[in-house]
Amino acid sequence: MPENKRVVVGVHYLSRLALCLLPLAYCLLPFAYCLLLLLGCSRTDAKFQQYYVQGEQLYIKHCSNCHQKSGKGLGLLYPPLGPSDYMEKNFNDVLCQMKYGRKGFLSVNGQDFNQPMPGVRSLTELEIAEVATYVYNTWGHDRGMVEVAEVKQALDKCSP
């Protein structure tokens, strides 16, 4: 066999090998993509969990006296948090009320409430995001993570 012929055969084999590997690589691509996504997810998931757990503690400390641990409220005195059409429709207001409180009539699920709610001025933006992450992902709500930036934006509009 002449020398150059052998080289050609070698190249031929190499190209065939590459051709075989190509579909394999393409097959692996979605897997790699999924893996990356999963890693990303678990990172946001951990953050969500952290907010949620912290939020629950803060909720028990500052909110559950009236709204109850079950989020059901008490009679027509303290409105329920879940289900609550008010919460779904007034996200920014809810964030503000945690800090600054609220007075006057409030309609929740078609019923009027009129007990003034004291705000908790000491809550930081992070803490409000944590409480919001908790209340907006419990009792039937599934808004997902509430970011500090969202809280900041809402508070900027309502700070007295």
Partner 1 sequence: MKLFWGRQRSLSCLPIAIGMFTAYCLLLSACRSKEEKLPIFGERTANGTDTVFHTIAPFRFVDQDSAIITNESFGGKIYVADFFFTTCRTICPIMKTQLVRVYEETRDMPDVMILSHTIDPEYDTVALLHDFARRLGVESKKWHFVTGLRDSIYKIAQTSYFATAMKDQTEPDGFIHSGAFLLIDKARRIRGKYDGTKEEDVNRLMGDINTLRKEYGE
Site for partner 1 (CB under 8 A): which residue of 52, 54, 68, 86? 68
- Residue 59 phi, psi (nearest 5): -60, -45
Binding window for partner 1 (CB under 8 A); candidates: 5-13, 42-50, 53-61, 109-117: 109-117
Residue 124 interacting with partner 1 (CB under 8 A): no
The letter for the amino acid at 140 is G
Distance CA 27, CA 30 (A): 7
Parallel, antiparallel, or unpaired: how do β-strands 106-108 and 111-113 relate? antiparallel
Residue 114 interacting with partner 1 (CB under 8 A): yes
Q: Which of 99, 95, 89, 98 is nearest to 147 (CA)?
A: 95
CB of 40 to partner 1, least distance (A): 42
The letter for the amino acid at 4 is N
The nearer residue to partner 1, 60 or 149, going by C-beta atoms, is: 60
The letter for the amino acid at 135 is V
Residue 116 interacting with partner 1 (CB under 8 A): yes
The nearer residue to partner 1, 30 or 75, going by C-beta atoms, is: 75
- Under the rule (CB under 8 A), what is the footprint of partner 1? 65-66, 68, 74-78, 113-116, 118
